[in-house]
Structure 1
């Protein structure tokens, strides 16, 4: 994105008071206890098993580790996951680990 584009995005975000996740295509994660998770703004499922879910993001990936994980709904860019959630790992594109 050009410098002017970034400036315009920041200016309109401040003026319109828009949430940061909408402006920069970041994921929005809602965690209810350790039993339910809602992830918005993902780019697709990379891997799923009852012990792990890995999602593609605009700038990296999100990995959820747990037990008895079940994807209860996928609606567009929103996914709901239930089960026992033990770990959440956010990896940006440039990270080696």
Structure 2
């Protein structure tokens, strides 16, 4: 995205009071205890096992580590993960995926 495009997006988001996740195409995570995680705005599963889930994001990778992880649902860019969630990490990359 060009510098002008980013600036226009920022100005528009500020004037319309839009959430930053929508304006900047960021993931939204909702953690319920350590048993359920809802992820919005991901770009697909990169790796999955009962101990680890890696998801592609627009500008990076989201990694969830835990025990007995299960993908409860995937609908478009939204996902629900269940199990014992021990760690969530976000690794940003400048090039996008």
TM over 0.5: same fold?
yes
Residue aligning to 1:61 = 61
Report the TM-score when normalising by structure 1: 0.93
Secondary structure, counterpart of 1:14 in structure 2: helix
Asked if 1:86 corresponds to 2:83, the answer is no
- What's the RMSD between the two structures over aligned residues? 0.8
Residue aligning to 2:2 = 2
CA distance in 1, matches of 2:69, 2:57: 20
Alignment of 1:1-97 (within 5 A): 1-94=1-94
Report the TM-score when normalising by structure 2: 0.93
Structure 1: any 5+ residue segments left out of the alignment?
none
CA distance in 2, matches of 1:8, 1:39: 27
CA distance in 1, matches of 2:14, 2:46: 34
CA distance in 1, matches of 2:71, 2:3: 39
Q: Which moved more, 1:4-13 or 1:78-87?
A: 4-13
4+ residue runs of structure 1 moved beyond 3 angstroms?
none
Secondary structure, counterpart of 1:26 in structure 2: coil
Structure 2: any 5+ residue segments left out of the alignment?
none
